[in-house]
Structure 1
Amino acid sequence: MTIIWINGTFGAGKTTTAGKLVGLTEGTRLFDPEHVGYMLRANLSDQEFTDFQQLPPWRTLVPVVMDEIGRLTGDHLIAVQTVLVESYWRELEEGLRTRGYDIVHVLLDADPETLHTRIDADPDGHDIRPWRHNHVPAYQSARPWLLPAADLVIDTTKHPAQSAAEQIRDHVANQL
């Protein structure tokens, strides 16, 4: 089975692209790694962390939960999650590979101006817009390792979600 991990920062189009990709690709389902983080946050409220990705159990449990869902359903999984710390990505990747998954790491990239415009235009999350805006420089800092670590990079400044989803579908079809 295959894991398609769609990475990129807020405003890059991850969620929209993933939704379109599921519609284009039979035998796939969305997986949201944040739900593992929500569970950990609820159960580790006595621990200090600012992002659940900082918790080693998150990086351990995401591949475990993905494996369980993949085995139960037989579906390929499409994960939508920003991962900007290289060592975290390597842990997730290793956890999935040791379970026998092929991983297609997709990076949706856009210029900072486009990202900020999209963040402001998002009708949801008015209260977390500043937090999302603050992640754009972190994303820019991570690009030097993200670009070569990705199997496919799509500039969503130039390619809307439908086009990005089609490119991912075609890339995955050529890989398998």
Structure 2
Amino acid sequence: MTSATGTATVGIVIIWLNGTHGAGKTTTSRLLQPLVPQSRIFDAEKVGEVLMDIEPALPETGNFQHWPPWRPLVAETARRVLDYVGGTLIIPMTVLIEQYWQEIAADLGRHEITVHHFVLHADETTLRHRIDDDAEMGPSAFRHDHVRPYIEAARSWLHDQAVVIDTAAKPADAVAREIAERLPRSSPDSAGA
């Protein structure tokens, strides 16, 4: 259910859209943002890009998420943005290593930031077709390389720690509406509190 204006109502929180490449995180975040009042999209990948620009370069890891500063910097950046503007941050970011997710979630929890964690799921065949057919990025070996780790994470921990939304047969706008409908609603008395 949405509010009278057709938008979801949430407090100061983070909506984390997880899942691997091709699941629809970026598209869904763009469609979700207008449905959530006072929300902004925060691309946590940009934190990794900042770290990649350090010269001389940080030790090679093959993935900026492996750099220990990335996780606390993502949490701290999100916290500072929320402290500054309030509202809700929508973070479309793949995190497939449980320890990394726990570090980020713990940092946010220490600041009493509620995180609504959603995993956008699709079967392997659908994911690989989406990666190959991506009009913006084109086929990507990097993105294909993350499909199997996603399947393993989904099986071992990820689906147990989030609300899973199957995106294989749903258009992105329907996925965004489903996420908005699953968010807690603030009471009329708490609006503006």
TM surpasses 0.5: yes
Match for residue 81 of structure 1? 93
Give 1:60 deviation, angstroms: 0.9
Match for residue 101 of structure 1? 113
SS state of the match for residue 43, structure 1? Answer: coil
Cα-Cα RMSD: 1.5
1:68 and 2:80 aligned: yes
1:12 and 2:23 aligned: yes
| Residue type of the alignment partner of 1:134 | D
Tell me, in whole angstroms, the C-alpha distance in 1 between the residues paired with 2:112 and 2:69. 20
For these two proteins, the number of residue pairs brought into alignment is: 174
Write out the 4+ residue segments of structure 1 that deviate beyond 4 Å after TM superposition.
none
**Does the Cα contact within 8 Å between 2:51 and 2:58 map onto a contact in 1?**
no
Tell me, in whole angstroms, the C-alpha distance in 2 between the residues paired with 1:85 and 1:56. 13
Tell me, in whole angstroms, the C-alpha distance in 2 between the residues paired with 1:169 and 1:36. 26
Structure 1 stretches lacking a partner, 5+ long:
none
More helix by share: 1
Match for residue 67 of structure 2? 55
In structure 2, do the counterparts of structure 1 residues 119 and 175 end up closer, same or farther at CA, with 3 Å as the change threshold?
Answer: farther
Structure 2 stretches lacking a partner, 5+ long:
1-11, 188-193
SS state of the match for residue 26, structure 1? Answer: coil
Match for residue 51 of structure 2? 40
| Residue type of the alignment partner of 1:27 | Q
Give 1:172 deviation, angstroms: 1.1
Q: For residues 5-64 of structure 1, what are the alpha-carbon distances to aligned partners after superposition, in whole Å with 9 as ceiling and x for unaligned?
A: 000001101011110000111110000111111111111614221111001100111010
Of structures 1 and 2, the larger Rg is shown by: 2
TM norm structure 1 = 0.94
Q: For residues 78-123 of structure 1, what are the alpha-carbon distances to aligned partners after superposition, in whole Å with 9 as ceiling and x for unaligned?
A: 0010000000000000011111100000000000111011111112
SS state of the match for residue 61, structure 2? Answer: coil
1:113 and 2:130 aligned: no
